[in-house]
């Protein structure tokens, strides 16, 4: 399946909810940040960023890059497609570019599949496929998520 281009819906109001849109998937960044703050469940890992984290269709504001806080973790979702899991950067594209430019490591948090499904809005068949494959691979319990 060919994915449509990635884009990001920027919040225009201070308390507005931010979303990351990747093809038919829409991730609630506000909810992702709340889940990622659970220090009993998630421990930030220091990583050297990769250029592949920021796809060519991501809108990057060059002025904003300089003002990013490299101490704030980048958040990845765990997605399942065609029986394979992979991390998808959903929050921190500007921080990733800043770190790449400065050759610095950054903290990252990857949400597990269960938490990813809690923040994901997508057509039902994508959600059902992720649940089915997640159970098959032992990433989700057999009961409904």
Within a domain: 5: no
Within a domain: 3: no
Mean local confidence (pLDDT), 71-95: 96
pTM of the model: 0.87
Rounded distance, CA 92 to CA 70, Å?
Answer: 9
CATH number, domain containing residue 22: 3.90.1530
Within a domain: 10: no
DSSP letters, 26-38, are EEEHHHHHHHHT-
Name which of 12, 46, 33, 7 is nearest 118 in CA terms.
33
Within a domain: 1: no
Domain extent at residue 70: 17-136
pLDDT digits (tens, 9 = 90+) for 123-137: 999 999 999 999 999
User: Residue 143's pLDDT band (boundaries 50, 70, 90)?
Assistant: low
Residue 139 predicted with pLDDT over 50: yes
Within a domain: 95: yes
Within a domain: 24: yes
Rounded distance, CA 83 to CA 32, Å?
Answer: 23
Q: Provide the domain count of the chain.
A: 1
* pLDDT of 106: 98
Within a domain: 142: no
Please report, for residues 14, 29, 56, 79, the alpha-carbon distance to residue 22 in angstroms, rounded to integers and kept in the order given.
23, 13, 12, 11
User: Residue 55's pLDDT band (boundaries 50, 70, 90)?
Assistant: confident
Within a domain: 112: yes
């Amino acid at each position: 399946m060919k994915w449509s281009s990635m884009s990001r819906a920027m919040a225009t109001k201070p308390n507005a909810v931010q979303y990351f849109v990747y093809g038919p998937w829409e991730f609630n960044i506000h909810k992702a940040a709340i889940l990622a703050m659970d220090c009993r469940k998630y421990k930030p890992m220091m990583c050297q960023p990769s250029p592949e984290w920021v796809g060519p269709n991501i809108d990057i504001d060059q002025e904003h890059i300089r003002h990013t806080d490299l101490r704030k973790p980048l958040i990845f979702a765990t997605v399942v497609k065609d029986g394979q899991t992979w991390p998808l950067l959903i929050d921190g594209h500007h921080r990733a570019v800043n770190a790449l430019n400065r050759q610095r490591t950054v903290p990252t948090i990857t949400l597990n599949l269960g938490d990813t499904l809690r923040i994901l809005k997508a057509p039902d068949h994508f959600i059902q496929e992720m649940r089915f494959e997640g159970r098959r691979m032992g990433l989700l319990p057999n009961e409904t998520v």
